């Protein structure tokens, strides 16, 4: 009798583990967000970004395969909640923002302050706190409606470019969580990647200087070596040096920071170098 009850209990436990999620929905029925741009246009906040869905099918090798179909969404309003309501009312599929890669701020919005949107990211459970944060030279409306040749989508092009540059010591990869921590520390400024589009190619073109959540300046790539040396653990620099006795013969030198000898700190609104 006891053995029979034990077997029944085991079967019930296994069957409960094999059941699917009660609220499961097929990925085909979801509106997958890839990226979002936030800007200020005519005293209103404007959202524009990329979606993808898997509704399309294509024949390949005698088999039908689903292919991502990119689309764009755009809405404007006086507040973030008003825009969210407009987007929900115009979206035929359930929103899924867990795949979002990057948030792109327009210069106008960044100059007014990004704190409210950063707080939104960090307090909403369906948005990843590790989202990459950048500022765009072009207005997001212009940026997201362009076709790029260096990736499959604008969001992927930006995130992949910044990530590989960061891994090679040529850029900083700043997340929403890190930005919020910097905003809360009122005494210090910080930088964000600055991106632009040239010849239909997404490029990292420098950094924007942020203070109290607002953009206060721009630093080009050519002027950024000092920032990178102080901020990155593995800063990398490249120099061309003329050969001895033959100035036309150039040597390319790659300098990598391995053991930092200069320690930096910021105390009582003063920069300390040790």
In this structure, what is the dihedral angle of CA atoms 3, 6, 12, 16, given to the nearest 10 degrees? -140
Q: Which domain holds residue 173?
A: 27-222
pLDDT tens readout for residues 117-138: 999 888 888 888 999 999 999 9
Tokens of 43: 């005293």
Question: So what's the pLDDT on residue 143?
Answer: 92
What Å distances lie between residue 166 and 170, 189, 228, 256, 264, CA to CA? 6, 20, 10, 13, 20
Residue 214: DSSP 8-state? E
In a domain, 120, yes or no: yes
pLDDT of residue 267: 77
Answer whether residue 146 is part of any domain.
yes
Are 70 and 51 contacting, i.e. CB atoms less than 8 angstroms apart? yes
Instruction: Tell me, yes or no, whether 182 lies in a domain.
Output: yes
The pTM is what?
0.78
pLDDT value, residue 87: 82
Number of domain units in the chain: 1
Contacts 24+ apart (CB under 8 A), 235-240: 235/169, 236/168, 236/169, 236/170
Chain position carrying tokens 């795949």: 99
Residue 93's pLDDT is 75
- Let me know if residue 123 belongs to a domain: yes
> What residues of the chain score a pLDDT lower than 70?
1-29, 53-70, 260
Query: Which of 118-140 are b and which e, b meaning 16 or more Cβ less than 10 Å from the residue's Cβ?
Result: bebbeeeeebbeebbbbbbbbbb
The answer to whether residue 55 sits within a structural domain is: yes
Neighbours of 199 (CB within 10 A): 8
Q: What backbone torsions phi and psi does residue 2 show, to the nearest 5 degrees? A: -65, -40
Query: Token pair 């390949």 is at which residue?
Result: 60
Backbone angles phi, psi at 17, to 5 degrees: -75, -25
Write down how long the chain is.
274
CA pair distance 78, 109, nearest whole angstrom: 13
């Amino acid at each position: 009798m006891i053995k029979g009850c034990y077997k029944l209990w085991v079967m019930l436990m296994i069957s409960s583990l094999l059941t699917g999620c009660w609220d499961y929905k097929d990925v085909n029925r979801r509106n997958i967000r890839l990226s979002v741009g936030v800007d200020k246009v005519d005293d209103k906040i404007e959202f524009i970004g990329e979606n993808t869905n898997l509704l399309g099918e294509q024949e390949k090798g005698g088999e039908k395969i689903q292919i991502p179909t990119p689309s764009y969404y755009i809405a404007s309003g006086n507040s973030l909640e008003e825009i969210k309501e407009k987007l929900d009312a115009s979206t035929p599929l359930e929103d899924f923002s867990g795949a979002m890669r990057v948030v792109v701020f327009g210069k106008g919005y960044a100059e007014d302050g990004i704190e409210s949107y950063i707080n939104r990211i960090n307090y909403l459970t369906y948005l990843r706190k590790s989202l990459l944060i950048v500022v765009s030279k072009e207005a997001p409306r212009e940026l997201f409606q362009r076709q790029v040749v260096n990736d499959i989508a604008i969001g992927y092009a930006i995130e992949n470019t910044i990530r590989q540059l960061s891994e090679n010591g040529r850029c900083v990869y700043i997340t929403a969580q890190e930005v919020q921590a910097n905003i809360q520390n009122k005494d210090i400024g910080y930088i964000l990647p600055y991106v632009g589009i040239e010849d239909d190619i997404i490029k990292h073109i420098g950094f924007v200087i942020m203070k109290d959540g607002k953009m206060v300046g721009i630093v080009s790539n050519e002027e950024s070596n000092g920032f990178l040396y102080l901020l990155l653990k593995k800063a990398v620099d490249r120099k061309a040096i003329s050969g001895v006795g033959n100035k036309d013969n150039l040597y390319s030198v790659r300098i990598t920071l391995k053991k930092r000898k200069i320690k930096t700190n910021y105390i009582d609104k003063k920069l300390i170098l040790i």
